[in-house]
Amino acid sequence: MRYMPRLKQFFISFLVGTSIIFFGSASTGIDDELKQIAERTQIKLNKLHDANSNSNKIKQFDLILNSEGFLRYRRTFVGGKEEYYSFNLMRLKSIHYLGNTSAGDLTIQTMEDDVIVQTFNDRAGNVDSMSTHFRLPLIFVEAEDLVALQHNMLKMKRILDQEQK
């Protein structure tokens, strides 16, 4: 009978350890999936982005989507003006594309004023504001590209929403 408490303690330790390993690996699997989706989506967005769509030529741009769902877009124009946009896909409401296979605009609408908009080195003055949408000019877009982008962004939103609960 003296061994019974040890046996009980062993089983409790075993169950706790197994649960940590199981749930830890499930979390790692979800993190890996989010990382892969974010990477695929970021590559596709960078490939399709039309840096020459504005009348002001863009000297440089950075478009980053991380596994936490944050999409960050910074563009620097030849004159030195910078624009910065940032939002989280958890706040995604809808995705629309207006254009054709040659060129168009991908518009991502958020639930409320969830898009951070900042300008720097602007002659009209620097701006810090919020917006309900983010517009990205695209070029050489196929229907499959749009389907993949929408699918990936909505899947990331679903996974992030589930993790939050």
Q: Where are the domains of the chain?
A: 3-164
**Is residue 114 within 8 Å of 132, Cβ to Cβ?**
yes
pLDDT at 9: 52
143-164 and 3-48 helices, crossing angle to 10°: 150
pTM higher than the cut 0.95: no
The model's pLDDT over 66-94, given as tens digits with 9 standing for 90+, comes to: 999 999 999 998 889 999 999 999 999 99
Listed as own residue / partner, the contacts of 143-152 with beta carbons closer than 8 Å and 24 or more positions apart are: 145/44, 145/48, 146/97, 146/106, 148/40, 148/44, 149/41, 149/44, 149/45, 149/95, 149/106, 150/95, 152/37, 152/40, 152/41, 152/44
CA-wise closest residue to 94 among 13, 153, 21, 141: 153
Q: Counting Cβ atoms within 10 Å, is residue 74 exposed (0-12), middle (13-18) or buried (19+)?
A: middle
Cα distances from 99 to residues 38, 75, 102, 161, in angstroms, run: 24, 22, 8, 30
What pLDDT, on a 0 to 100 scale, did the predictor assign at position 51?
A: 86
The pLDDT assigned to 52 comes to: 83
Kindly give the parts of the chain with pLDDT less than 50.
1-4, 7, 10-25
Q: Give the pLDDT of residue 151.
A: 97
